[in-house]
Structure 1
Amino acid sequence: MTIDRRKFLATTGALAGAALLPGCSTIGGTENGFVTREGMKLMRDGNPYRIVGANMWYAAWLGADAPYGNRARLTRELDRLQAAGINNLRIMASGEEGPLKNSIKPGFTNEDGTDNTAQFDGLDFAMAEIAKRGMTAVLVLSNFWEWSGGLQTLLWRATGDYMDMGDPAHPWPAFPDANAPFYASSQARALYDEHLRKIVTRTNSITGIRYVDDPAVMSWQHANEPRPGGTDGQIAAYEESYYDWIDETAATIRDLDPNHLVSLGHEGTMGANGSEEIVTRAHRNIDYLTAHIWPLNWSWVSGDDLPGTWPTAEKNTRDYLEVHERLARDLDKPLLVEEFGFPRDEEAYSPDTTTQFRQRFYGEIYDAVEASWDNGGPIMGSNFWAWNGEARAAHPDAKFRDGDLVYMGDPPHEPQGWYGNFDTDEGMLSLIRAHAKKGGLA
Structure 2
Amino acid sequence: VAGTRGFARADGARFTVGGRPFYPNGFNAYWLMYMASNPGDRSKVLDTLDQASRVGATIIRTWAFNDGGSNRPLQITPGVYSEEVFVGLDFVVAEAKKRGLYLILSLTNNWGDFGGKRQYVQWAKEQGHNLGSDDDFFTDRLTQRFYMNHIKRVLTRVNNFTGVAYKDEPTIFAWELMNEPRVPSDLFGKTMQAWVALMSSYVKSIDDKHMVEIGLEGFYGDTAPERRRFNPGGSYSAGTDFIGNNRIPTVDFATIHSYPDQWVPGSTSEQQVEFMKKWMASHIEDAAAALRKPLLVAEFGWKSSGNAAVAARDDYLRMVYDAIYASVKGGGPCAGGLFWQVMAPGMESWADGYEVVLERSSTTAAVVSQECARIGGITP
Report TM bin, short chain. 0.7 to 0.9
For the aligned residue pairs, the C-alpha RMSD in angstroms reads 2.4
Which one-letter code corresponds to 1:291 in the other structure?
A: I
Q: Which consecutive unaligned segments of at least 5 residues does structure 2 have?
A: 220-230
Aligned to 1:56: 29
> What is the 5 A alignment of 1:313-352?
313-329=272-288, 330-344=290-304, 348=305
Distance change in 2, residues 1:277/1:149 (3 Å): closer
> What is the 5 A alignment of 1:30-45?
33-45=6-18
Which one-letter code corresponds to 1:434 in the other structure?
A: Q
Aligned to 1:298: 263
Distance change in 2, residues 1:89/1:301 (3 Å): farther
- Equivalents in 2 of 1:194, 1:96: separation in Å? 13
* 2:184 is equivalent to residue 230 of structure 1: yes
CA-CA distance at 1:253 after TM superposition: 0.9
Aligned-partner SS, 2:174: strand
CA-CA distance at 1:148 after TM superposition: 1.2
Correspondence for 1:90 among 37, 40, 61: 61
Distance change in 2, residues 1:363/1:190 (3 Å): same
CA-CA distance at 1:113 after TM superposition: 5.8
* 2:136 is equivalent to residue 181 of structure 1: yes
> Are the equivalent residues in 1 in contact too, given 2:13–2:294 (CA < 8 A)?
yes
* 2:195 is equivalent to residue 240 of structure 1: no
Distance change in 2, residues 1:292/1:273 (3 Å): same
Aligned-partner SS, 2:321: helix
Q: Which consecutive unaligned segments of at least 5 residues does structure 1 have?
A: 1-30, 99-103, 162-176, 303-308, 395-407, 409-415
> Are the equivalent residues in 2 in contact too, given 1:60–1:119 (CA < 8 A)?
yes
Aligned-partner SS, 1:110: strand
- Equivalents in 2 of 1:300, 1:441: separation in Å? 38
> Are the equivalent residues in 2 in contact too, given 1:140–1:220 (CA < 8 A)?
yes
- Equivalents in 2 of 1:342, 1:159: separation in Å? 38
> Are the equivalent residues in 1 in contact too, given 2:44–2:344 (CA < 8 A)?
no
How many pairs are equivalent? 354
Aligned to 2:318: 363
CA-CA distance at 1:250 after TM superposition: 0.9
Aligned to 1:397: none
* 2:223 is equivalent to residue 263 of structure 1: no
Distance change in 2, residues 1:32/1:384 (3 Å): closer
Distance change in 2, residues 1:441/1:186 (3 Å): farther
> Are the equivalent residues in 1 in contact too, given 2:15–2:294 (CA < 8 A)?
yes
> What is the 5 A alignment of 1:360-439?
360-394=315-349, 408=350, 416-422=351-357, 423-439=359-375
Aligned to 1:166: none
Aligned to 2:236: 273
CA-CA distance at 1:440 after TM superposition: 1.9
- Equivalents in 2 of 1:209, 1:230: separation in Å? 39
CA-CA distance at 1:274 after TM superposition: 3.9
> Are the equivalent residues in 2 in contact too, given 1:91–1:137 (CA < 8 A)?
yes
Percent identity reads 25
CA-CA distance at 1:65 after TM superposition: 4.2
CA-CA distance at 1:111 after TM superposition: 5.0
CA-CA distance at 1:133 after TM superposition: 0.5
> Are the equivalent residues in 2 in contact too, given 1:203–1:211 (CA < 8 A)?
yes
Question: Of Structure 1 and Structure 2, which has the larger fraction of its residues in helix?
Answer: 2
Aligned to 2:166: 211
Aligned to 1:404: none
> Are the equivalent residues in 1 in contact too, given 2:192–2:240 (CA < 8 A)?
no
Aligned to 1:136: 102
* 2:217 is equivalent to residue 254 of structure 1: no
TM-score normalized with structure 1 length: 0.75
